[in-house]
Structure 1
Amino acid sequence: MGILLNTQVSQSLSLTPQLQQAIHLLQLSSSALEDELATIAEENPLLEFEKTAERFSAPTSQKISSSYESTRGFTRNGSDDGSDQEFEKALGPVTLLTHLEEQIRHLPHSDFQKNLTFYLAGHLDERGYLRESLEDIATDLADRFTGANISLDQEVTRSLGALQSLDPPGIGARDLSDCLILQIKRKLTENTKNKNTWELAIEIAECHLENVAKRNLQPIKKACRKSEQEILHAIKLIQSLDHNPAHPFEEIDIQGIIPDVLVKNVRGKWLAEINPYSKPKLSLNNELARVFRDHCNAKSNAALNQKLLEARWLLKNIAQREVTILRVANEIVAKQKNFFSKGAVEMRPLILKEIAESLNLHESTVSRVTTQKYLSCSSGIFELKHFFSSQLLRVDGSSISSTAVQALIQDIVSNEQPDKPVSDSAIADILESRGHLIARRTVTKYRELLHIPSTSMRRHGIASYK
């Protein structure tokens, strides 16, 4: 056997420690950045760090909007597109998506199945429901698996089952009925006590929720052939269940939010500026560096020079982080100027790619900048991701954002007569008369996202089921 030596030319991408640090700092929230800098300053005597004495805090009446929608994409083998590491660990407070991600990691499934389950998790709404049809999801994925011998319909259905097996119970439900049934089945698996009552609760949750809301027991008694006491007992069990599985993950402490950006109207033009309260108070101790340089030996100087170099890298990366956030924020403000002037009904469709192309940035960079970064304006405090939304067609061929449509639906319901609530079909007709081609099922989807009860429930005085 002979030994051969060959030379080969190849290209590979290598991230320098400075660039790795810049990427890491960019994705941190302001509070997480402050904690990170405090730790680094303890290890580097040349850095002076002062924790913000008075945090900027918003009135509790301000509204914070956030999004759990996943921006990750699929390639044929089911992995990410390379812009982020697979299942990149989110920093800061635990969100619903990161909570599910940790469980998905430990599922006894293939990497493809885990990725697909995580993909579905990224489509959950703010209540933890999967509203989008499995057929539409499979269709969206089909283009990325052209030629692959995979039954996407079956794989998506199987992944939904995996998602619904996770905690909190009821996650991944298709609607309220499904959410309750998933929780009841979990309880039946864990405990057979009151089995008959729980089974009756499944039947009621599946077919009679509207009568429960109306407190109309006669149709339920007739259909289930049970006594009123049994029906009431089952309803009591249903009422003990969680209608909103994602609720624990939306309880953000508003006083702990430090807006990274402030938006102001300057001479009729909306401009963004960095919030001074969010800027880290980090500086280089030049006096200490001079003393060390004058009194330490060569070996000590080598270690000191390394610390000095690291300190300068850090300060440069923090400054670059601030510049990037401000660039992205100003571009968002420029694209969504009508939102700041006229409100949510004027929100225009916007995607990450559009901002990335305008600023000559990578889409993953824009994603990092807009995650856990907040903007404060006269309408409240919003996560930067709030300003990105899908588009829907209008009669004249133009488009309108889904956020604007939701605002229109909210306005229509707010102005309806209490004794004559407007049906979803009627809302769709009203929107069409205003030039918006919105299907009834889309109206239903957005109404539920807004936690607006059905027509019959509103007629009986139920204003919200959040």
Structure 2
Amino acid sequence: MNQKIIFSQTLKQTFKLNHTLINSLDFLKLDNYEIAQLISKALQTNPFLEINTNNGEKVDYENNYIENISTSLSLNDELQKQLLTVPLPYDKSIMNFLIDSLNSQGFLSYSEEEYLSFLHINKETFYFHVHILQSLDPSGVGAFDIYDSICIQLRKLKKHNTYKMLRKYKEYILSYNYQNIMTHTSLTKDEIDNIYHDIRLCNLYPCSQYSKDNNNIIQPDISVFIDDNQIMIEPFNQPNIMINHDLYSKVKDNEQMRDYFKNASFLIENINKRNQSLLLISNALVNIQRGHFLYNDELIPCTLRDLSQLCGYHESTISRTLNNKYYLFNNEVYPLKNLMVSKTNMGDSSDAIKKAITLLIENENKNHPLSDQKLVEELAAMDLYCSRRAVTKYREQLQIASSFKRKNRI
């Protein structure tokens, strides 16, 4: 009897707040963790909502789902666990301070001078411990900034030449302006292409799958994986909530209960719409970049307009859907928007370049066919830019023979 009274009072106190909250939400903007929080609150306040486990078992969602996410994605715990295997003698208090000082990106929060002052140690001791931290996974953790993180990852990938060039020409390379780089450095376009290819192998957000605290959890929204040379996409670990229709049939004459039922239906409907939109847009985006996932090719240009034409959604809808959303691939978490590349003079679509190559070869002098290097120069005159190696790859994909084999023999 007392339980029923308390339950009834709780419903009266929370209904108006939750009804207003749910109707004010833009579901497309919510990431997976925010959806998890929303579901958790709804399960506590709406009597008709429950987790569908397909086996009839009850689930303690708040403690079993969200807390497990927090535990599994603790960067501090992961680094402390790895430290146990480090053979070098280190000062535990210094390492703990460094780890605790990492920001949400896994980068060091203070300057060298500040650390020396805080810890009362010299530079040699400081960098000894920093290098231990930077030797841990994920690669790039313990850096001072994104540039430093990329350098760490390049060293671990043994991309020594790219590392040296980036250190030497940092200002120009990070500007992503080919003409400026070639003007101020001794690098050729092919060398610059190779540098950017290596940089793209690095993760700009190496610690995005971890959280420094339970209030800032980054959880993937979708999983991308390869199965039998096919790219597969799945929603990531989102619970399936359902309405208890048996309970509703017993209380549907109560006006307040009918409002709760509408509230539950509204929540499920909008979460489903959000998930469908996210999967449709993600599928189109991943399919555009399939070469990147299957063969580690460079990302090809893709804009909001491209996705809008493919999916039928307005560009603003796509932007809201992709904002702050992440995908899991090969046990690494990346922002979905990383898969979008603007179309610039130095990043034209492969399709446009292939069409141009076909046109140039169709109209070439058969006695003096265009070499791949000459094709690069002709493409540049058309404001289409790519490396000689890329031209060779595209030509072979078009099943066009080399200039030597295309030449007329008299």
TM-score class normalised by the smaller sequence: 0.3 to 0.5
Structure 1 length as normaliser, TM-score?
A: 0.37
Query: Which structure: greater helix fraction?
Result: 2
